[in-house]
C-alpha cells in the first residue's frame, strides 16, 4: 500500500509545484513564551525526533463485528521492527471512527508523510505570501498543512512509531463498513463504544485506549467518552460538536443548508465507493451493496422536507423528531459532556462550525480536574484550524500536542502537558493568543450598548442604514426597516458555513462591508484604550413583523480606523422559535440574558400577530476579541442569512420574506449586551 502511494506522489507534487504563484517569505510572528514556551519546544523535539520503532505496517479491512451482527471494517496500523514485522510488545491503541472512508485517511497520511518531498512542498506552499491581496485567505488555508491538522484527520506515522497502535474504522454505513449510515444515531454511538471495547481486548493491545480525529471523528470521541465514562484513557477532539442541533442543524431555528447540503453530498457520495480489491480477489461484500441500495441518499429527504413543508403539522415524522425536544433522535444528537471522566484536550475555533459547543467545553467538563481538561480556540475555520500552530507566538502543532497528551495519560510520561494553560484563546481580529484558567476569562462584566437611530457617521461604504451604539439609552424614537437580501453570500458567517473555503477571498473572510450593503448598522464611538471582549454577546431587539413569522441575523463587528469591519460574533433567530430555556441560560446580576439557550422545539413553536411589537434575544457565538484605541464596536442587523441558513420551511412560508422592523424606543430600548474588560462610552 505504501509503495503504491509513493509511486503516485511525484506526479501529484509536480502538478502542485507548477501552480503559477509568486513565492514571498512570510515574516514570523513575535514569540510568546507562555503559549509555546520551553515545554512546547520539548514536545516538538519528541514528536519530530528519532522514534522507538523503525516503521509501521497497515493491515487493511480488519473485520469488527458489532453486537447486532453488522460488520465494520478498519485499518489497523502497528509499529514494526527492523525486519518489517509488527512488534510483539502490547501497546496503547488510538481509535479514529470516520465517515469519510479510511481509504481517504490512508491516502492523506501517506501523502503528508512522503519523505523529503512532502515537507519541502508544504514549506513551498506556505512560503507563498498573498497577504494584502484579494486572496489573502490562501495562507490560512494552506497553513493547516503545516499545523498538524491532516495528521490528526488521518493517522500519524510518527505517533505509531513512537509506540502506539492505530485503528481507523469506517463508521456504520460509510466506507467499506456494512449497515446504513446513522448520522450519530443511537446504534452508531453504541458502535463506537463496542469498537473501543474490542480494541482494548486484542492481543496487540495493552488494554489502554484513546481516540483521535477531526470534526465527525471529534464528535464521536466526545460521545464515546460520555456514553461509557472512564473507559477511554484520553481523547483529543479537534473541532468537535456536542449539541448538533444548536451547532449546525438549526442554530437559532435557521436550517443550516449552507453546510449540510454539501456535507451530506460528500459523505453519501464517498460511501458508495466499493472496495475494488475485494472485487478483484473475489471477496466482494454483497451485504455492503445491499445496505447501500437501501439508503443511497441518507438524510437528503429530511433536508428537503424541512425546507419545503409549509405547516409544522405536515412535517414528516422523522423531521418532527429532529425538531422536537425529548425524542430519541433529538437526544442522540446531544452529548452531556458533564458525564465525561476521560482527560480531554479540545481544539476549536471562533469561526468554526461547532464554536457553540467548543466554547462551552471547559465549563461543561465538570468531573475533570484542570490538569485533565484543556481548550485551545484559534481564529480559524473548520478546515483551517491550526493554520499557524507551531509558529512563534502560537501553540505547538496539533500532532505535537496530541502526542504529548497521549504520552501523559496513556503511558504515564511526566511531560508537563497537564500544566499547560486551561484556556488558550486567539483574540480577534488580530489572532494573538491570551491564556487563562477558563473561558470566558475572569474579570469581565456585561455592559449594554444601546441601539440608536442617530447616525454614527462612521461608514464610508453603502449600507442600508447607519445608526449608532452608546452606553446611554436613545433619546428619540425611530424605526429601521430591514429588507431581505443576498449580500451575506460573501462574509465571515458565510465562510463559516463553507467550512472556511470561501475565506480564501479577503473581502469575504476579513471584511464585512460588502454584506453590510443590506444591513442596518449601529456603530459606537472609537475606543480610547484597549478594551477586550470575552464571552457570549447577546443582541436584544425590540422588533415588529408584517407577517406571522420572521428571521433575524445579527453580527458583532470590530471596525478599524480605516473602515474595515470584521465579524467577531454572529447569531440568528427564527421568531417563532424564540422561547428561551431559562434553566439552561445565563443571566447577569441585573437579570439581562448573557447566554440564551433556545428550546428550538415544536413544543415551543409560536407565531406572532402581524404588526405586533415584541422583544427577542438573538443568541450569538462566543468570542475573545479586542478593541484597540480607535476601533469601534458595531452591530449589523439582517433579515436573511443565505447561504449559511434559511428559516425552517414553516417559518419561511409564514414570513413571506417581507421586510422586518427594528423599533428604537427610549422606553423599551434595543441593545447588544457585551462582556467587557472595561466599560465603553
Least confident piece of the model among 59-68, 219-228, 274-283, 320-329:
274-283
Q: What is the mean pLDDT of residues 312-338?
A: 96
Q: What is the DSSP letter of 87?
A: P
Per-residue pLDDT, averaged over 100-111, amounts to 79
pLDDT attached to residue 460: 86
Question: How confident is the model over 364-384, as a mean pLDDT?
Answer: 94
Alpha helices in 486-587 (DSSP H): 492-497, 506-509
DSSP states of 373-437: EEEEEES--TTTTTTTTTSTTSPPPHHHHHHHHHHHHHH----SGGGS-SEEEEEBTTTEEEEES
**What does the pLDDT average to over 311-330?**
95
> Average pLDDT in the 100-123 region?
70
What's the confidence (pLDDT) of residue 103?
84
Q: Which of 35-49, 100-114, 297-311, 409-423 has the lowest mean pLDDT?
A: 100-114
Please state the three-class secondary structure of 419-456 as a single string: HCCCEEEEEECCCEEEEECCCCCCCCEEEEEEEECCCC
Query: From CA 499, how far away is CA 534, in angstroms rounded?
Result: 23
Residue 125: pLDDT above 60? no
Decide if 86 contacts 78 (C-beta within 8 A): yes
Please enumerate, as own/partner, the contacts of 288-291 that have beta carbons within 8 Å and a separation of 24 or more: 288/176, 288/177, 288/178, 291/173, 291/178, 291/179, 291/180
pLDDT at 333: 97
Would you say residue 679 has pLDDT above 50? yes
Strands (E), 180-250: 205-211, 234-235
Instruction: State whether the Cα torsion 314-316-322-324 is positive or negative.
Output: positive
Across 343-359, average pLDDT:
96
What backbone phi and psi angles, to 5 degrees, belong to 374?
-135, 150
Q: Are 205 and 144 in contact (CB under 8 A)?
A: no
Q: At what angle do helices 102-112 and 2-17 cross, to 10 degrees?
A: 70
Secondary structure (3-state) at 15:
helix
Q: How far is residue 173's CA from residue 109's CA, in Å, rounded to a whole number?
A: 23
- Whether 580 contacts 618, CB under 8 Å: no
Average model confidence (pLDDT) for the chain?
A: 89
523/456 Cα distance (integer angstroms): 6
Tell me, what DSSP letter sits at residue 182? -
Residues facing residue 465 across a β-bridge:
520
User: Regarding beta strands 531-535 and 613-619, do their DSSP bridges make them parallel or antiparallel, or are they unpaired?
Assistant: unpaired
Sequence-ordered strand ranges (E) for 254-365:
254-255, 344-349
Q: pLDDT band for 17, please (50, 70, 90 cuts).
A: very low
Residue 260 has pLDDT above 80, yes or no: yes
Quick check: 21 pLDDT over 60? no
For residue 78, how many other CB atoms are within 10 A of its CB?
21
pLDDT at 120: 61
Query: Is residue 144 scored above 80 in pLDDT?
Result: no
Only one residue has cell 415524522, namely 317
| Dihedrals phi, psi of 108, to nearest 5 degrees | -60, -40
DSSP state string for 100-121: S-HHHHHHHHHHHT-TTHHHHH
| Residue 63 pLDDT greater than 70, yes or no | yes
Backbone angles phi, psi at 251, to 5 degrees: -60, 125
Sorted by where each starts, the structural domains of the chain and their CATH numbers stand as: 37-298+335-436 (3.40.50.1820), 445-676 (2.60.120.260)
Q: Is the pLDDT of residue 24 over 50?
A: no
Q: What number of CA atoms fall less than 13 Å from residue 390's CA on the CB side?
A: 22
User: Which residues have CB under 8 Å from 116's CB, separation 6+?
Assistant: none
* Length reported for the chain: 681
pLDDT in tens, 644-663: 999 999 999 999 999 999 99
Q: Is the pLDDT of residue 593 over 50?
A: yes
Question: Using one digit for the tens of pLDDT, what is the confidence trace for 457-468?
Answer: 999 899 999 999
Strands 586-587 and 660-664: unpaired
Summarize pLDDT for 245-257 with one digit per residue, the tens: 999 999 999 999 9
pLDDT in the model for residue 507: 63
Neighbours of 317 (CB within 10 A): 8
Between helix 117-127 and helix 138-146 the angle, nearest 10°, is 150
CA distances from 591 to 478, 485, 586, 594, 673 (A): 26, 34, 9, 9, 12
pTM for the predicted model, two decimal places: 0.91
The predicted pLDDT at position 502 comes to 63
Above 90 in pLDDT, residue 336? yes
Residues 6+ away with beta carbon under 8 Å from 405? 234, 236, 343, 345, 374, 417
Q: Cell triple for residue 10? A: 511525484
Q: Which band of pLDDT confidence, cut at 50, 70 and 90, is reported for residue 504?
A: low
- Alpha-carbon span 362 to 523, nearest angstrom: 32
Does the pLDDT of residue 16 top 50, yes or no? Answer: no
Q: How many whole angstroms separate alpha carbon 32 and alpha carbon 128?
A: 24
Q: How far is CA 42 from the centre of its chain?
A: 29
Amino acid at each position: 500500500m505504501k509503495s503504491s502511494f509513493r509511486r503516485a506522489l511525484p506526479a501529484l507534487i509536480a502538478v502542485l509545484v507548477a501552480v503559477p504563484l509568486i513565492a514571498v517569505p512570510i515574516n514570523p510572528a513575535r514569540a510568546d513564551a507562555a503559549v509555546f514556551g520551553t515545554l512546547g519546544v520539548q514536545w516538538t523535539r519528541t514528536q519530530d525526533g528519532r522514534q522507538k520503532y523503525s516503521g509501521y505496517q497497515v493491515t487493511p479491512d480488519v473485520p469488527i463485528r458489532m453486537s447486532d451482527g453488522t460488520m465494520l471494517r478498519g485499518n489497523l496500523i502497528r509499529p514494526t521492527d527492523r525486519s518489517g514485522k509488527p512488534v510483539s510488545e502490547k501497546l496503547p491503541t488510538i481509535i479514529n471512527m470516520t465517515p469519510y472512508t479510511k481509504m481517504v485517511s490512508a491516502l492523506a497520511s501517506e501523502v503528508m508523510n512522503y519523505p523529503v518531498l512532502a515537507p519541502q512542498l508544504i514549506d513551498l506552499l506556505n512560503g507563498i505570501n498573498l497577504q494584502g491581496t484579494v486572496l489573502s485567505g490562501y495562507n490560512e488555508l494552506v497553513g493547516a498543512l503545516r499545523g498538524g491538522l491532516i495528521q490528526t484527520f488521518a493517522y500519524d506515522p510518527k505517533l505509531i512509531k513512537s509506540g502506539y497502535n492505530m485503528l481507523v474504522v469506517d463508521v456504520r454505513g460509510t466506507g467499506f463498513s456494512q449497515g446504513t449510515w446513522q448520522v450519530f444515531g443511537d446504534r452508531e454511538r453504541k458502535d463506537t463504544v463496542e469498537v473501543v471495547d474490542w480494541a482494548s481486548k486484542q492481543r496487540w493491545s495493552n488494554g489502554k485506549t484513546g481516540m483521535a480525529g477531526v470534526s465527525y471523528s471529534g464528535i464521536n470521541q466526545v460521545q464515546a467518552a460520555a456514553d461509557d465514562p472512564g473507559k477511554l484513557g484520553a481523547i483529543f477532539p479537534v473541532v468537535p460538536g456536542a449539541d448538533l442541533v444548536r451547532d449546525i442543524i438549526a442554530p437559532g431555528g435557521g436550517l443550516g443548508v449552507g453546510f449540510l447540503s454539501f456535507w451530506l453530498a460528500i459523505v453519501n457520495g464517498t460511501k458508495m465507493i466499493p472496495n475494488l480489491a475485494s472485487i478483484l480477489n473475489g471477496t466482494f461484500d454483497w451485504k455492503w451493496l445491499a445496505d447501500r441500495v437501501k439508503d443511497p441518499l441518507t438524510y437528503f429527504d429530511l433536508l428537503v422536507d424541512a425546507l419545503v413543508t409549509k405547516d409544522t403539522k405536515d412535517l414528516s415524522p422523522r423531521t418532527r423528531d429532529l425538531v422536537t425536544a425529548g425524542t430519541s433522535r433529538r437526544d442522540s444528537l446531544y452529548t452531556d459532556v458533564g458525564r465525561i471522566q476521560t482527560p480531554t484536550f479540545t481544539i476549536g475555533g471562533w469561526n468554526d462550525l461547532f464554536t457553540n459547543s467548543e466554547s462551552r467545553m471547559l465549563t461543561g467538563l465538570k468531573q475533570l480536574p484542570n490538569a485533565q481538561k484543556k481548550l485551545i480556540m484559534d481564529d480559524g475555520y473548520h478546515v483551517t484550524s491550526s493554520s499557524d500552530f507551531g509558529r512563534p507566538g502560537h501553540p505547538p502543532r496539533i500532532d505535537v500536542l496530541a502526542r504529548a497528551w497521549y504520552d501523559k495519560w496513556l503511558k504515564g510520561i511526566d511531560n508537563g502537558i497537564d500544566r499547560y494553560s486551561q484556556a488558550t484563546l486567539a483574540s480577534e481580529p488580530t489572532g494573538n493568543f491570551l491564556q487563562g484558567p477558563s473561558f470566558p476569562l475572569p474579570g469581565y462584566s456585561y455592559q449594554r450598548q444601546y441601539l440608536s437611530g442617530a447616525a454614527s457617521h462612521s461608514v464610508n461604504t453603502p449600507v442600508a442604514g447607519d445608526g449608532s451604539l452608546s452606553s446611554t439609552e436613545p433619546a428619540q424614537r425611530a424605526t429601521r426597516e430591514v429588507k431581505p437580501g443576498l449580500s451575506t453570500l460573501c462574509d465571515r458567517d458565510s465562510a463559516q458555513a463553507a467550512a472556511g473555503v470561501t475565506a480564501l477571498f479577503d473581502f469575504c473572510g476579513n471584511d464585512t462591508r460588502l454584506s453590510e450593503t443590506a444591513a442596518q448598522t449601529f456603530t459606537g464611538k472609537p475606543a480610547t484604550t484597549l478594551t477586550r471582549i470575552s464571552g457570549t454577546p447577546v443582541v436584544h431587539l425590540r422588533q415588529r413583523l408584517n407577517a406571522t413569522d420572521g428571521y433575524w441575523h445579527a453580527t458583532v463587528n470590530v471596525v478599524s480606523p480605516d473602515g474595515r469591519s470584521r465579524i467577531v460574533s454572529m447569531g440568528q433567530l427564527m421568531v417563532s422559535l424564540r422561547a428561551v430555556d431559562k434553566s439552561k441560560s445565563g443571566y447577569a446580576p441585573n437579570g439581562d440574558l448573557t447566554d440564551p439557550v433556545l428550546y428550538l422545539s415544536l413544543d415551543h413553536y409560536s407565531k406572532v400577530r402581524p404588526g405586533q411589537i415584541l422583544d427577542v434575544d438573538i443568541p450569538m457565538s462566543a468570542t475573545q476579541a479586542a478593541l484597540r484605541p480607535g476601533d469601534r464596536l458595531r452591530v449589523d442587523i439582517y433579515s436573511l442569512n443565505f447561504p449559511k441558513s434559511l428559516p425552517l420551511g414553516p417559518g419561511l412560508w409564514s414570513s413571506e420574506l417581507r421586510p422586518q422592523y427594528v423599533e428604537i424606543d427610549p422606553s423599551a430600548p434595543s441593545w447588544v449586551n457585551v462582556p467587557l474588560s472595561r466599560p465603553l462610552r
